[in-house]
Amino acid sequence: MREIKFRAWTGTGYAYGGFSIYATAGNIIFDFPWIDENSIIEQYTGLKDEDGKEIYEGDILRGSFGIPARVVISAVIYSESAYIINTPDVNPKMCTLKVAIDCLQPRIIGNIHENPELLEEK
């Protein structure tokens, strides 16, 4: 079973903390008392990069594959019940994060909030 962890982009940095779950009027509510309403919540994927760092939604990964080596830089997103890498020239539905880790051996090089320029095509 994987750990369920969250972080939140506050606009100036990341905040980490726990959450509470409760039900009301037929809805399940996740409460993050340590953030404000403008924060962007990102979940831990349950996976780690080549350096052992926890990979969250919004992280930017860099890896390579093939001969000669082709460098891939992509963001981690959650789509249709899976974490995938979002690479402009690859169908993201074909590359789950688990497959990317096995094939690319990626490292976290930034995140979409602080380093969006890493995703710009050169």
Please, what are the averages of pLDDT over each run of 10 residues along the chain (122 residues)? 84 87 83 85 92 95 83 87 72 70 89 93 60
Q: What is the pLDDT of residue 94?
A: 57
Tell the CATH topology of 6-119. Answer: SH3 type barrels. (2.30.30)
Q: What is the pLDDT of residue 49?
A: 94
Q: What is the pLDDT of residue 1?
A: 64
Q: What is the pLDDT of residue 17?
A: 82
Strands (E) across 1-122 are located at 6-9, 14-17, 20-24, 27-31, 40-48, 54-56, 59-65, 70-79, 82-86, 107-111
Q: What is the pLDDT of residue 90?
A: 59
Whole-angstrom distance, CA of residue 21 vs CA of residue 120: 38
